[in-house]
Amino acid sequence: MRTVTAKFGGSSLADAAQFKKVREIILSDPARRFIVVSAPGKRFDGDIKVTDLLIEAWEKARAGQDFDEILTHIGERFDEIARGTGTPFDVQSELTLIRQGLLAMPYRDYALSRGEYLCARLMAGYLGREFVDPAFVVCFDREGLLDEDATREALRKRLEGLDGAVIAGFYGSRPDGAVQTFSRGGSDVTGALVADATASDLYENWTDVSGMLAADPRVVENPAALDMLSYRELRILSYMGASVLHTDAVKPVRNSGIPINIKNTNRPLDAGTMILPHLPKEHVRRAVTGVAGRKGLSVVQVEKHMVSDGAGFTAVLLDIFKNHRVPFEQCLTGIDTISIVIRSDLMRYKRAQILADIRDQLDPDVLNVHENLSMITVVGENGSGADDLTVKLLLAVANEGISISTINQGAGRLNLIIGVNEADYERAMRALYRAIAQIEA
């Protein structure tokens, strides 16, 4: 029998009407055995996600302020779902426990995790399936890093033999039993871990859009929908800012080659986007799959005469960043010059020390920092013709009068990354997208 792990995001679980849609989707395919849920999200523009309400409650608890009103509001949201779906659920007893927990020790990750916990318990009751608490089966190590092997083993043991189950997303626990969450949007990661541990044939990720788009619709008008992309393309696009799936959700399923299908709970018949280990040969490949980008970057430029003839300069430079625990996004080397691209928010507090260390240890001829940069990437698995394509793409940006500060071209297939000032980001993105559309036409 086929096995599907289906993860539903917050907007798919926002109220009783959404819960009903989710149930219908689940019951329409018996392969959908393992269900992973987020916490209820926004019901309308301006609404507040349950996780954000929990953050507020925790902040108040930490400050010694009263947080009852917020918990009451959270209780009302779950009550509406329980009543609307006819599911017996004693939300008051659950809230009492949460209240006691927050009063005894206002612990952030515990507070944040309660949205998924309550949602999964309620969904399990509604579907008549077993509830699985990830606190016992999603394992973090003492440093707070996910222990993938231990998690796979624990999830496998817990889920084997079950016809189906509902697993709360977003959290697990450390060896001492303390609850720990992933970063925001982390239920996607839980879904991928469950899909991997249960050797699922497919990992469905249900959200409120019919798949991924070739560009950010807030910047580019009406971008094309993507029917298929490879893990590699997804990785690059999401790293560079495409936000449909959590970046850490790819690794667990990538290792076992499980396809991911992004689907829309509000339009379940839409095919959505299929993400595969490799694009099939018969798939009509476009030269470009998508465009994505990030703002908030800085470039540190270092120049030293004759340095390219020696060895070790780059290694020392990168060590300085490593010692300050500032990861870099890109390292671009030229003759006697090196440019390191870094997230500005990570650089901010360490800037003075990092620059002092570079001066002390490397005695550069030139040392500059450029801020307010953005990076835009154009990705396509179809490598042939990429040279010509790169020229056309760069021209499209240059013709807009936008100056390009860095160019980085990945080997082989198309993975072009260009740097432009933040102020030019939207214009550059639109110019690139227009050029792509013309090339594809």
Give the shortest CB-184-to-ligand ASP separation in angstroms.
4
From residue 1 to residue 20, the character string flagging contacts with ligand ASP as x (rule: CB under 6 A) and all else as - is ---------x----------
The reply on whether position 191 binds ligand ASP by CB under 6 A is no
**Residue among 58 and 170 whose Cβ is closer to ligand ASP:** 170
Give the shortest CB-56-to-ligand ASP separation in angstroms.
13
Question: 406: which strand partners?
Answer: 419
From residue 96 to residue 115, the character string flagging contacts with ligand ASP as x (rule: CB under 6 A) and all else as - is -------------------x
Smallest CA-to-CA distance from 374 within 406, 397, 351, 411 is with: 406
**Residue among 55 and 417 whose Cβ is closer to ligand ASP:** 55
Question: Which three-class secondary structure state does DSSP give residue 329?
Answer: strand
Pairing of strands 202-207, 4-8: parallel
Q: CB 276: neighbour CB atoms within 10 A?
A: 18
The answer to whether the beta carbons of residues 230 and 277 sit under 8 Å apart is yes
Residues that contact ligand ASP, how many (by CB under 6 A): 12
Which residues, including other chains, have CB under 8 Å from residue 368's CB and lie 6 or more apart? 300, 301
Give the shortest CB-191-to-ligand ASP separation in angstroms.
9
| DSSP string for residues in 394-417 | HHHHHTTTPPEEEEEE-SSSEEEE
How far out from the chain centre does Cα 209 lie? 15
From residue 36 to residue 55, the character string flagging contacts with ligand ASP as x (rule: CB under 6 A) and all else as - is --xx---------x-x----
How far from each other are the two terminal CA atoms of the chain, in whole angstroms?
A: 42
Give the shortest CB-119-to-ligand ASP separation in angstroms.
9
- Amino acid letter, residue 70: I
Question: Which three-class secondary structure state does DSSP give residue 369?
Answer: strand
Question: Which three-class secondary structure state does DSSP give residue 338?
Answer: strand
Stretch that binds ligand ASP, among 66-74, 184-192, 204-212, 309-317 (CB under 6 A): 184-192
CA distance 287 to 436: 9
Angle, nearest 10°, between helix axes 313-323 and 351-362? Answer: 150
Give the shortest CB-207-to-ligand ASP separation in angstroms.
10
The reply on whether position 170 binds ligand ASP by CB under 6 A is yes
Q: Which of 185, 211, 252, 293 binds ligand ASP (CB under 6 A)?
A: 185
**Residue among 38 and 180 whose Cβ is closer to ligand ASP:** 38
Q: Which of 106, 134, 169, 172 binds ligand ASP (CB under 6 A)?
A: 169
From residue 362 to residue 391, the character string flagging contacts with ligand ASP as x (rule: CB under 6 A) and all else as - is ------------------------------
What residue ranges bind ligand ASP (CB under 6 A)? 10, 38-39, 49, 51, 115, 169-170, 184-187
